[in-house]
Structures are given as C-alpha cells and as structure tokens.
Amino acid sequence: MALPLFRRIFFSTVFAVWGSDQVQAEGHDPITVSHGYSFFGDLKYPANFSHLDYVNLDAPKGGEISQWGFGTFDSFNAYARKGNQASLSSMPYEAILTSFADDITASYCFLCTTIEYPESLDWAIFNLRDDVTFSDGSSLTAEDVKFTFDLFMEQGLPSYRAAVSGMVASIEVLDPLRIRFVFAEDAPRRDVIGLAGGIPVFSKSWFGATGARLDDSTLVPFIGTGPYILESYEINERVIYERRTDYWGQNIPTNVGRNNFDRIRVEYFADSAAAFEGFKAGVYTFRSENSSKQWATSYDFGAIEAGHVVKIELPDGDLALAQAYVFNLRREKFQDPLVREALGMMFNFEWSNEQLFYGLYDRVNSFWGNSELEAAGVPEGDELAVLQSLVEQGLIDIDVLTATAVMAPVSGSRQLDRKNLRRASALMEQAGWLVNVDGMREKDGQLFTLEVLANSPAFDRITNPMIENMKSLGIDARLNRVDGAQVMERSRAYDFDVMNHSMRMSLEPSSGLEQYFGTKAMEGSSRNLMGFSDPAVDALIELVVRSETKADLNVRIRVLDRVLRSKRFWIPQWFKAVHTVAYYDQYEYPTPLPPYARGELDFWWFNAEKAAKLNDAGALN
C-alpha cells in the first residue's frame, strides 16, 4: 500500500497564477505550487482537467498492434552503449513529468501531484503520487527517484553526464513521497525542472537485489511503473509487450483513452524488402512507409485490392527531421569547408526526387525546417544584432552579416549536374586537391578516398548515384554496406567517413543542443556523430540556453540555424510533411490527430469486429 501524502505549508499569501497557486513565505522568493510547468507561458490544461482533448474517451481496450524492426537485438537496456537494444525497450518506464501531443513544450505532473518552485528556480520539490506502483507491485517512493538520478550520474551515457553534470547541486528526500532538487547556481534555469522531472524512474530495491548496471547490456529488463511490460521475445525474431492488468495509472485523467492495446508486437526482418513482404502477408499489421518507391509503386497487392489494408497519408505538423549524410570531421580530409561544400554538390536531390522519390519529398535545408525557427534570407533586426556580437568577439567572419542563409545546392534534371561539377572541381582545387594523371584527386601524395558506411539496402539506389558523381569529381568513393551490428560498432568508435544521421530538434531547444553540436560532449555523444566543434556555436548554444523570453529564444535559434548551415558538415537529404502509413483495417484513431504525434501506440485503438472480418477472410498470418 502506498503511503498517503500528509504535509502542511505555511505561507503569508495565496493567489492564482497560470492555473497554479503562487505563495510567498516571508523573506523568501514567491513560491509556485502547480500541476505543471512551462517556462515561457501558460499551460494548456488546468489542474482539474478530466482528459486530453485529442483522445477518444470511449476507446475500447484490447487486441494487438504489430510493427517491424530492422536487423538484430541483444539487449533490453535502452540507456547503455553496450549491446543492440530491442525496439521499444524504454516502454516500461515513466518519468515524474510528461508532455502532451498538443502541448509539447510544457511539462505536466505524472508521477507527481504538484511541483513547488521559487521564482528564482533555485530548487524544485516534487510531491509524488501515493498510488504509483512498479510492475512487481512495490510502491514508488522518493528514494527511487534519488537512486535513479544518482545511477544516471554514475553509469549513464557519457554525453548525458557531460550535459547534466553540474546542474544539480544536491537531492534531498524530504519524506517518502516528497523530494527536493537543488540546482547549481550557474545551471540554466529554463532546463532545471524538466531535467529533474524527465528521467525515467527505476526501482532502487530491484537494482539492489539483482546487481544490474545501467551501463551493461541485458536481456532482463529493469522494472518500471509503465503500462506495458515485456511478455516474451525470441532473439532477432520478435519482441512482445503486454499491457499490465494492474497498471496504477489506467484511470487517471492523463491516461484516459490511451494505452489501449493489450499487446504490442515487433517482428524483426533482416532488410526492408523482406519486411515489406511480411506486411503484405499479414505477419505484422501497421507499417510506416519510408520508401517513396514502395509507396508510389508497390501498394497494389491483394490485401489492398480486397480492402483489407488501409493506405493513407496523415498530417504531420512536427518539425522536419534534419536527416542527412554527415562527414566525420575528426578526419583531416573533411576539416576544410571547401571540401565539404564541393562534396555536398555531388548529391543531386532534384534528380533523385524526380527519378527515385516520385516527387514525394522536399529538400531539407534547415535544422528547424517546417517551422518559424528556420533561418531565411539575409539576417536583419535582432538576428543581425546577435551575429554582430559574435563578429565583435572574433567568433565568426564579418561576411556572415550580409550572407544569405545557406541553402542546399540546386541541381538539374540529369544525375550529374555539369555546372555543379565545375563549381565543385574549382573548390577542390582551391583546397589543394588536384587531379593527377589518373584523373583522381590528390594532395601531398595522398589520394582522396571516401567511404559511405550504411546498413540499409534501401538506400543503395540513392547513395550509389552520389558515389558515381563523386567519382566524376575525382574522388575514390565507394559505398560499404554492412550489417546493423557493424554499423553500430563503427559509429560508436567514430570509424567512418560519411554516414546517414538524423538530428531531431525541438521547438524550444536548450541544453540538449550540447549533445548534438557542443564541444563538451563531442567525444562521448552518439548525437554529435560528425564530431562538430565550433566556438561560435558553443557561444550560441549558451545564448539559447539562457533565453528568458520566447522571442529571444526564436531569434537565437534562427541565428544558430544560420551558423550551423554555414559550416556544411552535412549533405542534407529530404523530408515530407505527411505520415505515409498502411495498416490492416482493424484500427481506429481520433480525428483530428494532434499536431505533434501520430500516436498509433499511444491513443489508437482496436476494433474487434473489423479484426474478426479480417480473420474470417484469412488476411492475417
């Protein structure tokens, strides 16, 4: 039985602010007591909300949804560099705070009832719920929260420790359901509450009894408080999660209409072609299609024609994923920006979109594409002022003040754009890479070799034309496709020239930018795969983190976007502003969908009558 929370707070005045209670103890900062937190503005949902706006209150519980996973797995630890984690392996865990798909920049109490914090944000107290239980039936307490934070600081990923170290001065368990985080004096105040409340909470007693480590791979999942637990698995074949019948949070307002499937199954395939054949045969039932060729040409199989499978485009209001080929800047040959600019011209997006993508994609140009945070044109106003300060500090060249935001090169309708080839050739010569008698680029007696490391055969048809164009430039280029385990091993060792990389930004980014672009986390981060380090970017990240208003934040992000793009450490790829999905016609979802989530594992539900018809027709395997 969870302990009830009994406490008294004495204050001199009480008044409502942003749906919160703000109180002030004599001689101290005003203290806010709230069900949630948003640094820049109001919370969408009040303290007494009964459900999320985008869910179906009457969504039935039951059934199964299944997806596919790529390659292999040998661990259920999503928080270690060791091992190859299974799909959805973080599903069993919950954090003190959560966000919602229609209010993604705010944090709401989930494992807590309220947060207390002073105006200075020097500390925060989380008042935990008294009914939260782990999957073994034990109650969650403040001791579990403190243990988990300490565990991450001792055994967590180096990039995470580098970003978080020094932000929390101390943690104090005030009583079994009350915990206080004291933040370091120089910790960015915009991050501290989300940091303290955003870590998944593990069971202290379970770790003590098992001797498990956060930095080791394991096939025995840690226990959590979440709605799903591991049911069964077969290595490299499938993973099945089942919904807890004793889940503590089933009926709280945050979860009404959510967590509707009894089982979530992931079927593993060696490659995308085999996975697509598995979907056609009904081996799994929900597919997010990321191949434009298959979307345009292959959805004409029997289950589609019989009406058993729904093929649909769903709206996607999120930021465009910053997907790209990235250079390994740790290697000397890629440290010259002229070289990187020249190589970037060898990917012909326009030809690829017409010939390979069926016109379904737009070009990625920005790290914050499809939003107001994307830099555009020549800097003006407040953006110009920020850039001027960087010039005065000697961090960027003065010509940036009048330069248009870098856009990806535009190519013609032929695979090899001769105009871009001439421009790229001039850049390579300017960088000292000259053509030898064999037509290859050479500098100081060394040939320019380039390997694109990949593990997906679906990318071959896209990467190989770029390889051919690079060869026309005099580059000894090749595609090396290996299995997923080798890609993971080599990427962790930073043993590559060029790789695919996805950099997912947020609408209110902060210290997490350090892990993507910061110098401090460069050698320990899987997100800063390219090994990027630049003093101007470090300074801009600091400005972003210290932003006090949303207007300042937006300006600084646009400047950061502008500067990052000018460094040309990537060859930006493509995106589409819709979700292309197909599923066997036994699922339903609320309309309209929220802007920032597709939500098939969250708030979709199973229609038993439709499923019975599919089974009767023999559509499912």
The per-residue pLDDT for range 317-359, each reduced to its tens digit, is 999 999 999 999 999 999 999 999 999 999 999 999 999 999 9
Mean pLDDT value across residues 552-559 = 98
Span(s) in the chain for CATH 3.40.190.10: 50-317+577-621
Query: In the prediction, which pLDDT does 302 show?
Result: 95
Which residues contact residue 75 at a Cβ distance below 8 angstroms, ignoring those fewer than 6 apart? 82, 83, 84, 85, 86, 89, 217, 218, 219
CA dihedral 387, 503, 565, 521 (to 10 degrees): 60
Query: Which DSSP symbol is given to 75?
Result: B
Angle at 74 between CA 69 and CA 79, to 5 degrees: 90
pTM, to two decimals: 0.86
Measured CA to CA, the distance from residue 605 to residue 602 in angstroms comes to: 9
Q: In the predicted model, is pLDDT for residue 9 greater than 80?
A: no
Mean pLDDT value across residues 570-597 = 96
Measured CA to CA, the distance from residue 316 to residue 215 in angstroms comes to: 35
Which residues contact residue 414 at a Cβ distance below 8 angstroms, ignoring those fewer than 6 apart? 348, 351
Q: In the predicted model, is pLDDT for residue 8 greater than 70?
A: no
The per-residue pLDDT for range 404-449, each reduced to its tens digit, is 999 999 999 999 999 999 999 999 999 999 999 999 999 999 999 9
pLDDT-wise least confident of 73-87, 151-165, 481-495: 151-165
Query: Do the Cβ atoms of 62 and 608 come closer than 8 Å?
Result: yes
Which long-range contacts (C-beta less than 8 Å, at least 24 apart) are formed by 464-470?
465/348, 465/351, 465/352, 465/415, 466/325, 466/346, 466/347, 466/348, 466/571, 468/415, 468/416, 469/346, 469/347, 469/348, 469/415, 469/416, 469/421, 470/343, 470/346
Q: Which residue has the higher pLDDT, 81 or 247?
A: 247
Measured CA to CA, the distance from residue 291 to residue 309 in angstroms comes to: 18
Q: Which residue has the higher pLDDT, 367 or 492?
A: 367
Residue 314, judged by CB atoms within 10 A of its CB (0-12, 13-18, 19+), counts as middle
Q: Which residue has the higher pLDDT, 370 or 15?
A: 370
Q: In the predicted model, is pLDDT for residue 65 greater than 50?
A: yes
Query: Do the Cβ atoms of 347 and 571 come closer than 8 Å?
Result: yes
Closest CA to 341 of 327, 359, 358: 327
Identify the CATH class of 322-575. Answer: alpha beta
Q: In the predicted model, is pLDDT for residue 7 greater than 60?
A: no
Query: Do the Cβ atoms of 446 and 605 come closer than 8 Å?
Result: no
- State the average pLDDT for the chain: 93
Query: Regarding the domain delimited by 50-317+577-621, which CATH topology (the fold level of the hierarchy) does it fall under?
Result: D-Maltodextrin-Binding Protein; domain 2 (3.40.190)
Span(s) in the chain for CATH 3.10.105.10: 322-575
Q: In the predicted model, is pLDDT for residue 17 greater than 80?
A: no
Mean pLDDT value across residues 510-521 = 90
pLDDT-wise least confident of 185-199, 431-445, 510-524: 510-524
Measured CA to CA, the distance from residue 314 to residue 456 in angstroms comes to: 25
Tokens 């597709």 map to which residue?
Answer: 598
Measured CA to CA, the distance from residue 91 to residue 265 in angstroms comes to: 12
pLDDT band per the 50, 70, 90 thresholds, residue 456:
confident
Measured CA to CA, the distance from residue 327 to residue 329 in angstroms comes to: 6
Closest CA to 599 of 197, 214, 286: 286
Measured CA to CA, the distance from residue 239 to residue 69 in angstroms comes to: 9
The per-residue pLDDT for range 23-41, each reduced to its tens digit, is 444 446 789 999 999 999 8
pLDDT band per the 50, 70, 90 thresholds, residue 21:
low
The per-residue pLDDT for range 269-292, each reduced to its tens digit, is 998 899 999 999 999 999 999 999
Query: In the prediction, which pLDDT does 4 show?
Result: 32
Mean pLDDT value across residues 532-549 = 96
